[in-house]
Structure 1
C-alpha cells in the first residue's frame, strides 16, 4: 500500500508578546519570549530526523499582521534547514498573518509553496512516483466570514488528496473568533484523505477516517493553552 509521511503544524504565532507575563523579571521574560522560536526549531529538527516527505503549516505563522523582521528571519532559517534536508513545505496564511503586499520582506526558499487567496492545489511527487495533491487558500484579509469549503474539490488522480484550512468548525464551542466556518459533516463527504486544520489552539481530533485534525498551537502562552499540542506526525 502506498504511504506518505508528513508533519502537520499550525498556529506558530512567532513573536507572540506573551501578554500578562511582562511583570516577570526582564531576563526571564526575554527567555519566555523566545519559547515559540525554540518550539519551532524543535519541530523542524523532528521533521528532519523522521525524514518526512513534507511539512504542512495551516496558518498563523506570525502573531501579528505586521510581522517583525526577527520573526521572518527565524522562519526563513527553519525553511532553509528543511530545504537542505530535501523536505517540501506547503503553507497557508490565517487571520493573524493574512497576505498583504509589503509585509513579507524575505523571499522564502524554493521548497516552500505558499497558497494565495483562491483555493488551488499543487502536486507533490516523491522520487518513487508517489503523489499527493495538496489544496488550500490564504486569508487576504483578517476577517474571512464565509464558508469556503465548496471550493475544495479533489482534482484528478493522486495517491492522496490533502486539504489545508484555517477555520472554525461550527458545531463546536470555542473561545476563538469564528473565521472561515465549516461543518464537519460537509468536509468528511468531499473525498479528501486528510484535512489539515488550523486556528484552534487546542489539539483536537474531529474525525478519524478521513482524518480531520487541529494540531494546536506549538507553544502555549498562558494557562488556557496548557496541555498536549504542537506537531502531528502522520503516516
Structure 2
C-alpha cells in the first residue's frame, strides 16, 4: 500500500449572489469583488491543484446552485477541469442537494479526467504505475430533496488492497445544519469499512473522526456574515500504517472575502471621536489578521 494525497472541496455555490449585495452602498469595485468571489475561490482551487499536484481532486457537492441555472458556473468548472486534465489530475465529483443530477446541463462536454457519480453507488479504481492506488466510492443526489440514507449503500471492496474513500453530500447526525438531506450517522459511515470520507453540505470545516478519517472541508467562500473567517479546502495526505491508513489534513484558504464581527470595547469613552478611533483601530486589526 502506498501513500497518496488528494484535495477535498465542497459547497462552492458558484455564482450565488451575496445576501444584501443589491442593497449595499459599496463602490463598484467592491461590488464586483463580491460578485466574483465564488469564481475567484474556484480559480484558486485549480491553482492549488496545479501547484501541489495531488493524486486527485474531490468535489463533494453543491458546486453550483440549481435555482440559479448558471451556465457561467458550469462552464467555469469545465474549463478548470480541462486545466487539471493537462496536469494529469483526475476529478471525482458528487452532486448535492443544490446541484442534483437533474439540474446538470446535458450540453456541457466534460473532459476525460472527470468522473461524475450517478444516482446509485459507484466505485472507481485509480492506478499508479499499474497498481491500484485508491478506490473512490461515490453517489450523487438525483433530485433536489434526497431523503434516503445514502451512506448505507457504501461497502468496501474487499478484493482491492489499497486506500478506499467515500464521497458523499450528506447531513451527519449532530451536524449544525437545518437542511437534513441524505441523513446518516457516524456509525453508518464507519460501517462501510472505508479508510476515509470526503463529505459536503455543512459549511463549517469539521473533522468528525480520525479512524476512519471523516471530514467536512466547509465552503470555499463564506456567503454572508454568519459564515465568518477563512474558507477553503483540505489537502489530505493518507499514509499506510500497520495495514490501515492514517490521514492528516492541511487547510488551504480559497475565499477572497472574509466576514468578521469585530468586538469594540467602549470602556471609558466619553467623546464621539474616540468611538471613531476605536472603530478604525478594530477594523485595522481585523484587516491585518486577514
TM-score by length of structure 2 reads 0.77
Q: Mark the structure with the bigger radius of gyration.
A: 2
How far did 1:106 drift? 1.3
How far did 1:65 drift? 4.4
Q: Provide Cα deviations, 1:164-183, integer angstroms capped at 9, x if missing partner.
A: 010101133x2330000010
Residue 136 of structure 1 is matched in structure 2 by: 138
Select the structure that is richer in strand.
2
- Please list every run of 5 or more consecutive structure 2 residues that lacks an aligned counterpart in the other structure: 238-290
Residue 225 of structure 1 is matched in structure 2 by: 227
Q: List aligned pairs for 1:4-153, cutoff 5 A.
A: 4-24=4-24, 25-100=27-102, 103-127=105-129, 129-153=131-155
| CA distance in 1: counterparts of 2:15 and 2:34, whole angstroms | 11
| CA distance in 2: counterparts of 1:119 and 1:189, whole angstroms | 15
Residue 163 of structure 1 is matched in structure 2 by: 166
Q: What is the SS of the residue equivalent to 1:150?
A: helix
| CA distance in 2: counterparts of 1:134 and 1:187, whole angstroms | 15
Q: Provide Cα deviations, 1:45-90, integer angstroms capped at 9, x if missing partner.
A: 1111111110000001102345322112211111011101100000
Detail structure 1 runs of 4+ shifted over 2 Å in the superposition: 24-28, 63-67, 101-105, 127-130
Q: Aligned pair 1:2/2:9, yes or no?
A: no
Higher relative contact order (CA 8 A, sep 6+): 1
| CA distance in 2: counterparts of 1:104 and 1:10, whole angstroms | 22
Q: Provide Cα deviations, 1:16-65, integer angstroms capped at 9, x if missing partner.
A: 11121222344422221111111111111111111111000000110234
Q: Provide Cα deviations, 1:89-111, integer angstroms capped at 9, x if missing partner.
A: 00011010101176343111100
Evaluate the alpha carbon distance shift between residue 22 and residue 62 of structure 1 in structure 2; reply closer, same or farther with a 3 A threshold. Answer: same
| CA distance in 2: counterparts of 1:227 and 1:208, whole angstroms | 24
Q: What is the SS of the residue equivalent to 1:47?
A: helix
Select the structure that is richer in helix.
2
TM-score by length of structure 1 reads 0.94
Q: Provide Cα deviations, 1:195-217, integer angstroms capped at 9, x if missing partner.
A: 00000000011001111000010
Does structure 2 conserve the Cα–Cα contact (< 8 Å) formed by 1:67 and 1:97?
Answer: no
Evaluate the alpha carbon distance shift between residue 122 and residue 33 of structure 1 in structure 2; reply closer, same or farther with a 3 A threshold. Answer: same
Does structure 2 conserve the Cα–Cα contact (< 8 Å) formed by 1:65 and 1:98?
Answer: no
| CA distance in 2: counterparts of 1:15 and 1:150, whole angstroms | 32
